[in-house]
Amino acid sequence: MRTYPSGAVWIVSFLAISILGCGGPSNPVAPVNGIVTLNGKPVADMVVTFTPIPGKTESVGGDNEPGKSATGNTDSEGKFILSTYERNDGALVGEHKVTVFGSGPDPTPPGNVPKDFTIEVKSGTNDIEIKLTK
């Protein structure tokens, strides 16, 4: 007579595989800290966004899925720390288009990021200065 595992064994096995399989691959991120300046002076209350450029960031989804953007807010000293998946975890490794805008009711920054301004985020800590121009 042949025996088969009981329903409870199947349920426990399914749950174990489901829980262990939830991690999945993730895109590599690296810490990014920086400062936004205008004429050498820090600019407070700005939102900094790093948007991955397709084909130029490391992505488990392939070149057609560049990954999630990273954002951070400047403090009173113009300093920011980027976050992508978790608070202050950084940005995806690779090249990003950078945008800066105001975080208050008027999103217009006091200066401009140069057109087509990109930054490469590398493995390890990245310290960045974003110089706005008039």
The answer to whether position 35 is within a domain reads: yes
Specify the pLDDT at position 42: 97
Provide the CATH number for the domain around residue 93: 2.60.40.10
In whole angstroms, how far apart are CA 133 and each of 86, 88, 100? 31, 27, 12
Specify the pLDDT at position 22: 43
Specify the pLDDT at position 4: 55
3-state helix, strand, coil in the chain (%, to 5): 10, 40, 50
DSSP 66-93: ----EEEE--TTSEEE-BSSSTT--EES
Could you give the residue ranges of the DSSP H alpha helices within the chain? 7-20
Range of the domain at 74: 25-132
Specify the pLDDT at position 55: 82
The answer to whether position 43 is within a domain reads: yes
Specify the pLDDT at position 27: 80
Specify the pLDDT at position 26: 65
The answer to whether position 38 is within a domain reads: yes
pLDDT along the chain (134 residues), means of 10: 53 44 64 97 96 77 71 97 97 96 88 91 97 92
The answer to whether position 7 is within a domain reads: no
Specify the pLDDT at position 14: 43
Number of domains in the chain: 1
The answer to whether position 11 is within a domain reads: no
Location of structure tokens 């008027």:
106
Specify the pLDDT at position 58: 64
Specify the pLDDT at position 67: 85
Looking at residue 9, what DSSP letter applies?
H
The answer to whether position 4 is within a domain reads: no
The answer to whether position 17 is within a domain reads: no
pTM: 0.76
The answer to whether position 112 is within a domain reads: yes
Specify the pLDDT at position 23: 41
Specify the pLDDT at position 9: 47
